[in-house]
Amino acid sequence: MRTGFPQRKAEVWLRQSDAENAIYDPGTDEVHLLNMTAVAIWTLCDGSTAPEEMILAVMDLSGLPRDVVQEDVLRILGDFEHAGIVTWRE
Amino acid sequence: MTEDRRVRVLLADGQALFREAVRIVLMSQDEFDVVAEADDAAHALSEAERSQPDVALVDSDLPGGDGIRVTSQVAERVPSCRVIVLSGQDDEQVMLAALEAGAVGYLSKQAPLAELMEATRAVSRGDVLVPPRMLGTVLKRLIHRRREHDEALRKLGTLTRREREILGLLANGAGSDEIARRLVISPETSRTHIQNLLGKLQVHSRLEAVAFVTANDVLGELVGVEG
Protein backbone atom coordinates (compact mmCIF):
# COMPACT_ATOMS: atom_id res chain seq x y z
CA MET A 1 0.00 0.00 0.00
CA ARG A 2 1.29 3.44 -0.86
CA THR A 3 2.60 5.40 2.11
CA GLY A 4 1.67 8.96 2.73
CA PHE A 5 -1.55 10.93 2.94
CA PRO A 6 -3.73 11.84 -0.05
CA GLN A 7 -4.49 15.54 -0.28
CA ARG A 8 -7.20 17.14 -2.38
CA LYS A 9 -5.88 19.77 -4.72
CA ALA A 10 -7.02 23.08 -3.30
CA GLU A 11 -8.22 24.50 -6.58
CA VAL A 12 -10.48 21.54 -7.31
CA TRP A 13 -14.05 21.78 -6.12
CA LEU A 14 -16.91 19.41 -5.57
CA ARG A 15 -20.45 20.05 -6.61
CA GLN A 16 -23.10 17.83 -5.07
CA SER A 17 -26.72 17.53 -6.05
CA ASP A 18 -29.40 14.88 -5.75
CA ALA A 19 -28.70 13.84 -9.32
CA GLU A 20 -24.93 13.68 -9.39
CA ASN A 21 -21.65 14.52 -7.74
CA ALA A 22 -19.06 16.20 -9.86
CA ILE A 23 -15.52 17.37 -9.30
CA TYR A 24 -14.30 20.20 -11.46
CA ASP A 25 -10.60 20.87 -11.97
CA PRO A 26 -10.14 24.41 -13.34
CA GLY A 27 -6.51 23.61 -14.06
CA THR A 28 -7.48 21.07 -16.69
CA ASP A 29 -11.11 22.16 -17.25
CA GLU A 30 -12.11 18.57 -16.61
CA VAL A 31 -15.18 17.31 -14.78
CA HIS A 32 -15.13 14.00 -12.97
CA LEU A 33 -18.34 12.31 -11.90
CA LEU A 34 -18.21 10.41 -8.62
CA ASN A 35 -20.45 7.90 -6.88
CA MET A 36 -21.25 8.46 -3.21
CA THR A 37 -18.51 6.17 -1.96
CA ALA A 38 -15.92 8.08 -3.99
CA VAL A 39 -17.32 11.36 -2.65
CA ALA A 40 -16.92 10.06 0.88
CA ILE A 41 -13.32 9.03 0.20
CA TRP A 42 -12.75 12.43 -1.42
CA THR A 43 -13.81 14.17 1.78
CA LEU A 44 -11.23 12.12 3.66
CA CYS A 45 -8.39 13.26 1.39
CA ASP A 46 -7.38 16.04 3.75
CA GLY A 47 -3.66 15.42 3.77
CA SER A 48 -3.68 13.85 7.24
CA THR A 49 -5.76 10.70 6.83
CA ALA A 50 -3.92 7.58 5.75
CA PRO A 51 -5.47 5.07 3.32
CA GLU A 52 -5.29 2.47 6.09
CA GLU A 53 -7.53 4.64 8.28
CA MET A 54 -10.01 5.04 5.43
CA ILE A 55 -10.08 1.28 4.91
CA LEU A 56 -10.65 0.56 8.59
CA ALA A 57 -13.44 3.15 8.82
CA VAL A 58 -15.26 1.72 5.82
CA MET A 59 -14.85 -1.77 7.27
CA ASP A 60 -16.23 -0.56 10.62
CA LEU A 61 -19.26 0.96 8.95
CA SER A 62 -20.02 -1.61 6.31
CA GLY A 63 -18.95 -4.85 7.95
CA LEU A 64 -17.42 -5.84 4.61
CA PRO A 65 -14.23 -7.90 4.60
CA ARG A 66 -10.91 -6.15 4.38
CA ASP A 67 -9.92 -7.40 0.93
CA VAL A 68 -13.09 -6.00 -0.63
CA VAL A 69 -12.84 -2.64 1.12
CA GLN A 70 -9.11 -2.26 0.49
CA GLU A 71 -9.52 -2.93 -3.20
CA ASP A 72 -12.30 -0.35 -3.48
CA VAL A 73 -10.57 2.36 -1.47
CA LEU A 74 -7.22 1.95 -3.19
CA ARG A 75 -8.85 1.90 -6.60
CA ILE A 76 -10.69 5.14 -5.83
CA LEU A 77 -7.51 6.79 -4.58
CA GLY A 78 -5.68 5.56 -7.65
CA ASP A 79 -8.38 7.03 -9.88
CA PHE A 80 -8.09 10.36 -8.06
CA GLU A 81 -4.33 10.39 -8.54
CA HIS A 82 -4.63 9.41 -12.20
CA ALA A 83 -7.13 12.23 -12.70
CA GLY A 84 -4.67 14.63 -11.08
CA ILE A 85 -7.09 15.80 -8.38
CA VAL A 86 -5.14 14.57 -5.38
CA THR A 87 -1.49 14.73 -4.47
CA TRP A 88 0.32 12.67 -1.85
CA ARG A 89 1.94 14.11 1.25
CA GLU A 90 4.63 12.07 2.94
CA MET B 1 -43.52 -16.33 2.11
CA THR B 2 -43.78 -18.44 5.24
CA GLU B 3 -44.28 -16.65 8.54
CA ASP B 4 -40.95 -17.74 9.95
CA ARG B 5 -39.11 -16.11 7.05
CA ARG B 6 -40.79 -12.75 7.36
CA VAL B 7 -38.87 -9.81 8.70
CA ARG B 8 -40.32 -9.07 12.13
CA VAL B 9 -40.62 -5.34 12.73
CA LEU B 10 -41.20 -3.18 15.78
CA LEU B 11 -42.58 0.32 15.22
CA ALA B 12 -41.67 2.84 17.93
CA ASP B 13 -43.09 6.29 17.27
CA GLY B 14 -45.23 8.65 19.32
CA GLN B 15 -47.48 9.50 16.38
CA ALA B 16 -50.24 6.96 15.91
CA LEU B 17 -50.94 8.14 12.37
CA PHE B 18 -47.33 7.62 11.32
CA ARG B 19 -47.23 4.16 12.89
CA GLU B 20 -50.45 3.23 11.13
CA ALA B 21 -49.17 4.43 7.76
CA VAL B 22 -45.93 2.50 8.14
CA ARG B 23 -47.74 -0.59 9.39
CA ILE B 24 -50.09 -0.57 6.41
CA VAL B 25 -47.22 -0.17 3.96
CA LEU B 26 -45.09 -2.91 5.54
CA MET B 27 -47.98 -5.35 5.99
CA SER B 28 -48.89 -4.89 2.33
CA GLN B 29 -45.72 -6.85 1.59
CA ASP B 30 -45.53 -10.56 2.37
CA GLU B 31 -41.95 -10.22 3.55
CA PHE B 32 -42.75 -8.06 6.59
CA ASP B 33 -44.63 -8.70 9.79
CA VAL B 34 -45.22 -5.85 12.23
CA VAL B 35 -45.01 -7.75 15.50
CA ALA B 36 -45.13 -4.86 17.94
CA GLU B 37 -45.78 -1.17 18.27
CA ALA B 38 -44.85 1.34 20.94
CA ASP B 39 -45.71 4.97 21.49
CA ASP B 40 -43.08 5.91 24.04
CA ALA B 41 -39.57 5.05 25.14
CA ALA B 42 -40.38 2.67 27.98
CA HIS B 43 -42.92 0.81 25.90
CA ALA B 44 -40.46 0.58 23.01
CA LEU B 45 -37.85 -1.16 25.11
CA SER B 46 -40.30 -3.55 26.75
CA GLU B 47 -41.84 -4.44 23.40
CA ALA B 48 -38.41 -5.01 21.89
CA GLU B 49 -37.55 -7.41 24.69
CA ARG B 50 -40.91 -9.16 24.45
CA SER B 51 -41.23 -9.49 20.69
CA GLN B 52 -37.53 -9.90 19.75
CA PRO B 53 -37.98 -8.17 16.36
CA ASP B 54 -35.50 -8.44 13.51
CA VAL B 55 -35.75 -4.70 12.83
CA ALA B 56 -36.90 -1.81 15.00
CA LEU B 57 -37.91 1.51 13.50
CA VAL B 58 -37.33 4.01 16.31
CA ASP B 59 -38.21 7.69 16.25
CA SER B 60 -35.37 9.82 17.57
CA ASP B 61 -37.91 11.94 19.49
CA LEU B 62 -39.83 9.24 21.28
CA PRO B 63 -42.12 10.58 23.99
CA GLY B 64 -41.13 9.82 27.53
CA GLY B 65 -37.48 9.52 26.78
CA ASP B 66 -34.93 9.64 24.03
CA GLY B 67 -34.94 7.53 20.91
CA ILE B 68 -31.15 7.41 20.90
CA ARG B 69 -31.07 6.05 24.44
CA VAL B 70 -33.71 3.48 23.52
CA THR B 71 -31.53 2.49 20.57
CA SER B 72 -28.60 1.93 22.90
CA GLN B 73 -30.72 -0.14 25.28
CA VAL B 74 -32.20 -2.25 22.50
CA ALA B 75 -28.74 -2.82 21.04
CA GLU B 76 -27.61 -4.07 24.43
CA ARG B 77 -30.64 -6.13 25.48
CA VAL B 78 -31.82 -7.40 22.09
CA PRO B 79 -28.57 -7.70 20.13
CA SER B 80 -30.22 -9.55 17.27
CA CYS B 81 -32.48 -6.57 16.58
CA ARG B 82 -31.23 -4.09 13.97
CA VAL B 83 -32.37 -0.55 14.69
CA ILE B 84 -33.15 2.16 12.16
CA VAL B 85 -33.51 5.59 13.73
CA LEU B 86 -36.02 7.88 12.10
CA SER B 87 -35.65 11.61 12.51
CA GLY B 88 -37.95 14.49 11.69
CA GLN B 89 -35.19 16.24 9.78
CA ASP B 90 -31.73 15.46 8.46
CA ASP B 91 -29.45 16.15 11.38
CA GLU B 92 -25.83 15.04 11.32
CA GLN B 93 -25.51 15.08 15.11
CA VAL B 94 -28.59 12.91 15.58
CA MET B 95 -27.35 10.53 12.90
CA LEU B 96 -23.91 10.22 14.49
CA ALA B 97 -25.45 9.72 17.92
CA ALA B 98 -27.74 7.04 16.51
CA LEU B 99 -24.90 5.13 14.87
CA GLU B 100 -22.76 5.38 17.99
CA ALA B 101 -25.68 4.08 20.04
CA GLY B 102 -25.77 0.99 17.88
CA ALA B 103 -28.22 1.85 15.13
CA VAL B 104 -27.44 0.36 11.74
CA GLY B 105 -29.53 2.83 9.84
CA TYR B 106 -30.70 6.40 9.88
CA LEU B 107 -33.49 7.82 7.77
CA SER B 108 -35.34 11.09 7.61
CA LYS B 109 -39.10 10.91 8.14
CA GLN B 110 -39.35 13.16 5.11
CA ALA B 111 -38.35 10.21 2.96
CA PRO B 112 -41.06 8.39 1.00
CA LEU B 113 -42.56 5.33 2.65
CA ALA B 114 -41.22 3.23 -0.21
CA GLU B 115 -37.72 4.28 0.83
CA LEU B 116 -38.48 3.31 4.41
CA MET B 117 -39.61 -0.09 3.24
CA GLU B 118 -36.44 -0.55 1.20
CA ALA B 119 -34.36 0.55 4.19
CA THR B 120 -36.07 -2.03 6.38
CA ARG B 121 -35.42 -4.67 3.76
CA ALA B 122 -31.76 -3.64 3.44
CA VAL B 123 -30.91 -3.66 7.14
CA SER B 124 -32.66 -6.98 7.62
CA ARG B 125 -30.17 -8.35 5.09
CA GLY B 126 -27.29 -6.98 7.14
CA ASP B 127 -26.69 -3.71 5.31
CA VAL B 128 -25.86 -0.49 7.10
CA LEU B 129 -27.94 2.45 5.96
CA VAL B 130 -26.44 5.93 6.00
CA PRO B 131 -27.72 8.85 3.89
CA PRO B 132 -25.19 8.95 1.06
CA ARG B 133 -24.32 12.61 1.51
CA MET B 134 -23.56 11.99 5.19
CA LEU B 135 -21.23 9.11 4.48
CA GLY B 136 -18.10 11.28 4.60
CA THR B 137 -19.11 12.72 7.96
CA VAL B 138 -19.70 9.27 9.40
CA LEU B 139 -16.37 7.97 8.16
CA LYS B 140 -14.57 10.99 9.62
CA ARG B 141 -16.19 10.30 12.98
CA LEU B 142 -15.17 6.65 12.85
CA ILE B 143 -11.60 7.65 12.04
CA HIS B 144 -11.57 10.17 14.88
CA ARG B 145 -12.88 7.58 17.34
CA ARG B 146 -10.27 5.05 16.27
CA ARG B 147 -7.51 7.63 16.69
CA GLU B 148 -8.80 8.49 20.17
CA HIS B 149 -8.92 4.80 21.05
CA ASP B 150 -5.38 4.26 19.79
CA GLU B 151 -4.19 7.25 21.83
CA ALA B 152 -5.94 5.84 24.89
CA LEU B 153 -4.20 2.50 24.39
CA ARG B 154 -0.89 4.31 24.04
CA LYS B 155 -1.46 6.07 27.35
CA LEU B 156 -2.47 2.80 29.01
CA GLY B 157 0.76 1.33 27.72
CA THR B 158 2.71 3.80 29.85
CA LEU B 159 1.15 2.44 33.07
CA THR B 160 2.85 -0.21 35.14
CA ARG B 161 1.01 -3.47 35.79
CA ARG B 162 0.18 -2.27 39.29
CA GLU B 163 -1.15 1.03 37.99
CA ARG B 164 -3.35 -0.82 35.50
CA GLU B 165 -4.69 -3.00 38.30
CA ILE B 166 -5.51 0.08 40.32
CA LEU B 167 -7.15 1.84 37.39
CA GLY B 168 -9.34 -1.20 36.89
CA LEU B 169 -10.35 -1.13 40.55
CA LEU B 170 -11.07 2.60 40.35
CA ALA B 171 -13.23 2.00 37.29
CA ASN B 172 -15.18 -0.55 39.30
CA GLY B 173 -15.81 1.98 42.07
CA ALA B 174 -13.11 1.12 44.60
CA GLY B 175 -11.63 3.85 46.79
CA SER B 176 -8.03 4.15 48.00
CA ASP B 177 -8.57 2.13 51.17
CA GLU B 178 -10.33 -0.71 49.41
CA ILE B 179 -7.64 -0.74 46.75
CA ALA B 180 -5.02 -0.94 49.47
CA ARG B 181 -6.81 -3.86 51.13
CA ARG B 182 -7.31 -5.80 47.92
CA LEU B 183 -3.75 -5.34 46.73
CA VAL B 184 -2.22 -5.74 50.20
CA ILE B 185 -0.47 -2.40 50.07
CA SER B 186 -0.60 0.60 52.37
CA PRO B 187 -3.22 3.31 51.76
CA GLU B 188 -0.38 5.76 51.23
CA THR B 189 1.12 3.53 48.52
CA SER B 190 -2.32 3.20 46.95
CA ARG B 191 -2.70 6.97 46.80
CA THR B 192 0.79 7.36 45.35
CA HIS B 193 0.00 4.88 42.57
CA ILE B 194 -3.23 6.72 41.87
CA GLN B 195 -1.47 10.05 41.58
CA ASN B 196 1.10 8.50 39.25
CA LEU B 197 -1.49 7.00 36.95
CA LEU B 198 -3.48 10.23 36.86
CA GLY B 199 -0.35 11.99 35.67
CA LYS B 200 0.36 9.40 33.00
CA LEU B 201 -3.21 9.54 31.72
CA GLN B 202 -3.05 13.34 31.78
CA VAL B 203 -6.22 13.63 33.85
CA HIS B 204 -6.77 15.57 37.04
CA SER B 205 -9.02 13.41 39.15
CA ARG B 206 -10.13 9.84 39.78
CA LEU B 207 -13.44 10.71 38.18
CA GLU B 208 -11.67 11.79 35.02
CA ALA B 209 -9.62 8.58 35.09
CA VAL B 210 -12.81 6.52 35.27
CA ALA B 211 -14.33 8.62 32.51
CA PHE B 212 -11.20 7.94 30.44
CA VAL B 213 -11.72 4.20 30.84
CA THR B 214 -15.42 4.37 30.01
CA ALA B 215 -15.20 6.81 27.12
CA ASN B 216 -12.44 4.85 25.43
CA ASP B 217 -13.93 1.44 26.21
CA VAL B 218 -10.64 0.11 27.58
CA LEU B 219 -11.85 -1.64 30.73
CA GLY B 220 -11.03 -4.97 29.14
CA GLU B 221 -7.40 -3.90 28.76
CA LEU B 222 -6.91 -3.53 32.51
CA VAL B 223 -5.39 -6.18 34.73
CA GLY B 224 -7.50 -8.25 37.06
CA VAL B 225 -10.72 -6.45 36.22
CA GLU B 226 -13.89 -8.21 37.26
CA GLY B 227 -16.80 -7.45 34.93
Residues of A in contact with B137 (CB under 8 A): 43
Residues of B in contact with A36 (CB under 8 A): 132-133, 135
CB contact under 8 A, A44 and B136: yes
Q: What's the complex ipTM?
A: 0.89
Cα B34 to the center of its chain, rounded Å: 24
Sign of CA dihedral B211, B215, B216, B220: positive
CB contact under 8 A, B143 and A42: no
pTM: 0.78
- Give the mutation candidate from A37, A41, A61 for the B interface (greatest B CB count, under 10 A): A61
pLDDT for B115-160, tens place per residue?
A: 999 999 999 998 888 887 788 989 999 999 999 999 999 999 999 9
Q: In this structure, which amino acid lies at residue B70?
A: V
Question: Which of A16, A53, A62 is opposite residue B146, by nearest beta carbon?
Answer: A53
Main-chain dihedrals φ then ψ at residue A65, nearest 5 degrees: -70, 155
Contacts of B143 (CB under 8 A, 6+ apart): A44, A49, A53, A54, A56, A57
CB contact under 8 A, B130 and A63: no
Q: What is the DSSP string of B14-29?
A: S-HHHHHHHHHHHHTS
pLDDT for A43-64, tens place per residue?
A: 999 999 999 999 999 998 888 8
| Short-list B82, B87, B89, B48, CA closest to B67 | B87
Question: In which element (H, E) is residue B75 found?
Answer: helix B67-77
Question: In which element (H, E) is residue A29 found?
Answer: none
Q: Chain B contact for A55, CB < 8 A?
A: no
